[in-house]
């Protein structure tokens, strides 16, 4: 929330909200069903369950995105 934004997830989407106006500014569609998100040291960490291509088994993944304003940068 350093830059005035906070993040929520629902299913496979991450929504970016403006902390002052409480309005959604962006929505990102992600792969997998998001189980957890957290922000630390300027990065947004996302933990979805994804299906492995080769075996079709489900597994947890950990993805880290740099955050600049309301942008997520991989």
Q: Among 47, 17, 11, which residue's Cα sits nearest to residue 29?
A: 11
Task: Give the pLDDT confidence of 21-49 residue by residue, as tens digits.
Answer: 999 999 999 989 999 999 999 899 999 99
What's the half-sphere exposure (Cβ side, CA atoms, 13 Å) at 3?
16
> Higher-confidence residue: 45 or 74?
45
State yes or no: pLDDT of 2 exceeds 80.
no
Q: DSSP strand E in the chain: where? A: 5-10, 13-18, 24-29, 33-40, 43-51, 58-60, 63-68, 71-73
Domain of 18, in residue numbers = 5-73
Q: How many residues are there in the chain?
A: 74
Question: How many domains does one find in the chain?
Answer: 1
């Amino acid at each position: 929330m350093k830059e005035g934004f906070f993040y929520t997830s629902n299913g496979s989407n991450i929504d970016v909200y403006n902390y002052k106006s409480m309005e959604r500014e962006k929505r990102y569609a992600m792969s997998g069903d998001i189980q957890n998100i957290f922000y630390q040291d300027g990065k947004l960490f996302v933990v979805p369950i994804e299906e492995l291509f080769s075996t079709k088994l489900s597994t947890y993944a950990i993805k880290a995105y740099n955050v600049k304003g309301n942008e997520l940068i991989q």
